[in-house]
Structure 1
Amino acid sequence: MPDWPSHVLWWHLYPLGFVGAPIRDGVDPDAEPVHRLERIEPWLDHVIELGLNGLLLGPIFASETHGYDTVDHFRVDPRLGDDSDLDRLLAASRERGIRVLLDGVFNHVGRGHPAFQAVLAGGDATLFRGTRVDGRFEPEVFEGHGALVALDHSSDATADLVVDVMCHWLARGIDGWRLDAAYAVPPEFWAQVLPRVRERFPEAWFLGEVIHGDGPAMVHASTMDSLTQYELWQGIWHGIADGNFFELSHAIERHDELLATFVPQTFVGNHDVTRIASAVGPDLVPHALAVLFTVGGTPSVYAGDEFGWTAVKEEREGGDDAVRPEFPATPADVTDVDERILDAHRALVALRRRHPWLWRARTDVVEVTNATLVLRTAVDAEAVIVALNIGDSPASLPAADARTVVAGEAMLHDSRAELPPRGWAVLEA
């Protein structure tokens, strides 16, 4: 794996929503480009101001609705603009030292994809899984979504297509790929594709979206560099929201086991889940962030979470819209900011920057109750301690050899961290 991912903290955004593009009504994948992608550039300095240095983009290729129903992997979605718009965004990112990851949807395509339309007209079905019934091709679809036609990952033609797409955009200047629905693709397919891409682009990084399953086995079999860490995300927000830090403690122990094989991509928010401020309540968001930025992993911040924005994902058509909103023209135009949450992001990102060794460090659970938790993450003589209290009474917790409070609101006294009700702190040894 290249070295650079160990130093990158990502800002994750969903481009179609961010720029206010239409998602369902009146979408024409062949329309003339509308140059909306340029609306991201004024936000790049905000990324740097937060202390982040990576831009993890949701889907940007021509599609029929939400971006995950691709109809042309080689063309920027006309709702966002064209190749020149992407080139400018990549150049502006490089000028600031910001790495860029694109979202590759390689498990399925939209029904309007020209290759699938050719199959319906009686053409070759090499790229797709399905059967012919009375001369009519019946495709397999992704998780019951009829608009998402499954690719055939046993086909050499599919492997060639994915290699070509990846190399095309890596040559244009991106740094790697988020592999959408990687859990639905046989790992043997990735093991066939990724080494071919690495031959040409050895510095490329590959992050697989995996919601469940045996992560280490998948990494070994697929050669992917990293996987999304949904188990830790769930442990963080459930542990806080349900008042059960034992669940979070268990998730951290499981997380440590993964670090022996690979470094997961960690998060408390993304484009597919309820925002963390809605999940745990605004006053407990810093508690979630303290865990995110002090345990091993490659952290990302979902755009808007740093402002304390709230939104609930719903299981219905359009149920993602609330967590994928349009952003104002510039950061200065944001009016709904929870300053306490923004300050916590800045402080904890800065802490992570000061301690790059946290990327693959192991975490010990020093003490846990339903409402309190002490974590110690260390390498050799360096240690970072997190003390959390979600209870309504003050808490006195072991400081685990900490000497200094560097974030939050604890007082150190007789080797104890004294926290106020619903208080949090990060300390250094």
Structure 2
Amino acid sequence: MQWTEHVIWWHVYPLGFVGADTTGDDRSPQPRLRRLVPWLDHLLALGANGLALGPVFASQTHGYDTTDHLAVDLRLGSTDDLVHLLDEAHRRGIRVMLDGVFNHVGRGHPLVEAALADPNGAEAAMLARDDAGELGVFEGHGGLVALDHANPAVADLVTDVMTHWLDLGVDAWRLDAAYTVPTSFWARVLPRVRERHPEAYVVGEVLHGDYATVVRESGMDSVTQYELWQGVWHALQEVNLFELDWALQRHNGFLDSFVPYTFVGNHDVTRIASQVDDERHHPHALVLLFLLGGTPSVYHGDEVGLRAVKEERFGGDDAIRPAYPETVSELVDHLDDEQAATLALHQQLIGLRRRHPWLHRARSSTLAVANASLVLEVAAEGGRLLVALNLSDDELALPTGWQALAGRDEQRRGDALAVGPHGWVVAEPTSP
């Protein structure tokens, strides 16, 4: 799929973005999805060209306890409202990805209600059971009832749902909690989906393990690169770039067989600006996101440096899933200097990536690494760049033969570049 080589996603958690209640107390219907339409221009101004939506289907609370895969959540509007958003996105050249919650359903789903009414019925057979014979649940969450992925009827259901929304104009799917579903299930579903939609992009949420095998056995196009996310924020926080170097070696290996879905923030994790205490090192995470191979995603709020910590409690995700204003100007016209600089840096680095599209599949080679510094050559057929990160209080000398394209506190020292304390640089060869 050629279009995936050029897509950069802006990831939005819709229920939070539009300020809908996610406790289940207020389920008043409103066409809130239409509030996203003006933000498509913000997406484009950022430099992105893909809208990755979190759950939009009917659910009881936070969107992941689905009650109807073929209906838009009434707190967000209707199918017409979603199609309107799709049309407006496509009119601007923006691809749209939906979040497919196919590992489990909510307690209010008709399958669960039917199973409770008739434990021996066909609907009950579509739900998983635990060792005690009770309905299985997802990772201890009693409100999330697991589907039985060995039942062919579940494969039929998921195939029908994915195809239905692709028929209406959706371009891509994120498979929620794909790591809990056997790869053989996806291998039954995805070929049937692609019979009608061969250009659909499918990325699975996978936290750890053998990413390449998951992709190969499932038929997905990609998986979420949590290993790199962990390597980036933890190495910056602990000032241990040897840890990042190891993650980059793993990342290169994945790129041999697929292009990972990369990010430094999403709806499930503490914001990068809160993960890394030293504000001087926040830009370094963005440099890595946009200069390494992968399909990058920017989570809404990260582009202006929002801070929030995920907490392991009821409502602990609320802070990282904030409401945005109704208009773009209400956000961008009231940014402080640091937030404005973060937005400008996103735009600069995305622009740099757009001018070097080969970065999509680029591998990195480590030229020098220490606890507080890392110098990489990033290359693929089509070009090569130098990426240098300095987390130390000292100047970092770089090899000769490079000239700066972008950076903070880059210096020329004779025929070579240098990076000042806590700076970074992206450079190109002085000659082809």
Q: Deviations over 1:41-79 (max 9, x none)?
A: 111101111110000000000001110000000000000
CA distance in 2, matches of 1:366, 1:120: 61
Corresponding residue for residue 229 of structure 1: 225
CA distance in 2, matches of 1:189, 1:196: 12
Asked if 1:299 corresponds to 2:299, the answer is no
Corresponding residue for residue 34 of structure 1: 30
CA distance in 1, matches of 2:219, 2:421: 46
8 Å contact from structure 1 (residues 387, 417) kept in 2: no
8 Å contact from structure 1 (residues 387, 397) kept in 2: no
Residues 400 and 322 of structure 1, relative CA distance in 2, 3 Å threshold: farther
Q: 1:254-403 counterparts in 2 under 5 A?
A: 254-281=250-277, 282-334=279-331, 335-337=334-336, 338-380=339-381, 382-391=383-392, 393-399=393-399, 401-403=401-403
What letter is aligned with 2:419? L
TM-score by length of 1: 0.95
Corresponding residue for residue 413 of structure 2: 413
Shift of 1:415: 4.7
TM-score by length of 2: 0.95
Count of residues paired in the alignment: 421
8 Å contact from structure 1 (residues 405, 412) kept in 2: no
* DSSP 3-state at the match of 2:10: strand
Asked if 1:181 corresponds to 2:182, the answer is no
* DSSP 3-state at the match of 1:251: helix
8 Å contact from structure 1 (residues 394, 418) kept in 2: no
Corresponding residue for residue 150 of structure 2: 154
Percentage identity across paired residues of the two chains: 55
CA distance in 1, matches of 2:49, 2:250: 28
Shift of 1:167: 0.5
CA distance in 1, matches of 2:273, 2:5: 27
CA distance in 2, matches of 1:296, 1:423: 22
Flag structure 2 segments of 5+ consecutive residues without an equivalent: none
Corresponding residue for residue 427 of structure 1: 427
* DSSP 3-state at the match of 2:386: strand
What letter is aligned with 2:9? W
CA distance in 1, matches of 2:302, 2:265: 7
Residues 231 and 400 of structure 1, relative CA distance in 2, 3 Å threshold: farther
CA distance in 2, matches of 1:158, 1:405: 51
Corresponding residue for residue 127 of structure 1: 126
Aligned to 1:113, which of 100, 105, 109? Answer: 109
Residues 381 and 187 of structure 1, relative CA distance in 2, 3 Å threshold: closer
Aligned to 2:76, which of 72, 76, 80? Answer: 80
What letter is aligned with 1:101? M
Shift of 1:413: 2.2
- Name which of structure 1's ranges 411-420 and 300-309 shifts more when overlaid on structure 2: 411-420
Superposed CA RMSD in Å reads 1.5
Shift of 1:416: 3.5
8 Å contact from structure 2 (residues 411, 420) kept in 1: no
CA distance in 2, matches of 1:414, 1:396: 14
CA distance in 2, matches of 1:286, 1:182: 31
* DSSP 3-state at the match of 1:410: strand
* DSSP 3-state at the match of 1:254: helix
CA distance in 1, matches of 2:415, 2:267: 41
* DSSP 3-state at the match of 1:138: coil
What letter is aligned with 1:383? R
What letter is aligned with 1:310? R
Shift of 1:389: 1.1
Corresponding residue for residue 138 of structure 1: 134
What letter is aligned with 2:3? W
Corresponding residue for residue 246 of structure 1: 242
Shift of 1:248: 0.5
8 Å contact from structure 1 (residues 405, 411) kept in 2: no
Q: Deviations over 1:117-150 (max 9, x none)?
A: 01001143121111697xxx61111111111100
What letter is aligned with 1:20? G
* DSSP 3-state at the match of 1:67: coil
8 Å contact from structure 1 (residues 385, 400) kept in 2: no
CA distance in 2, matches of 1:100, 1:65: 23
CA distance in 2, matches of 1:99, 1:380: 26
Shift of 1:27: 4.5
Corresponding residue for residue 4 of structure 2: 5
- Name which of structure 1's ranges 405-414 and 79-88 shifts more when overlaid on structure 2: 405-414
Q: Deviations over 1:212-270 (max 9, x none)?
A: 11011111110100000000000000010101000011101110000001000000000
CA distance in 1, matches of 2:397, 2:159: 52
Shift of 1:382: 1.8
8 Å contact from structure 2 (residues 358, 382) kept in 1: no
CA distance in 1, matches of 2:220, 2:353: 24
* DSSP 3-state at the match of 2:160: helix
Shift of 1:397: 2.5
* DSSP 3-state at the match of 2:74: coil
What letter is aligned with 1:288? A
* DSSP 3-state at the match of 2:422: coil
8 Å contact from structure 2 (residues 398, 419) kept in 1: no
8 Å contact from structure 2 (residues 390, 396) kept in 1: no
Corresponding residue for residue 198 of structure 2: 202
- Name which of structure 1's ranges 304-313 and 274-283 shifts more when overlaid on structure 2: 274-283
Flag structure 1 segments of 5+ consecutive residues without an equivalent: none
CA distance in 2, matches of 1:119, 1:126: 8
Q: Deviations over 1:329-364 (max 9, x none)?
A: 122101244122112101100011000101011101
Shift of 1:425: 1.4
8 Å contact from structure 2 (residues 54, 99) kept in 1: yes
What letter is aligned with 1:304? G
Corresponding residue for residue 94 of structure 2: 98
CA distance in 2, matches of 1:399, 1:328: 46
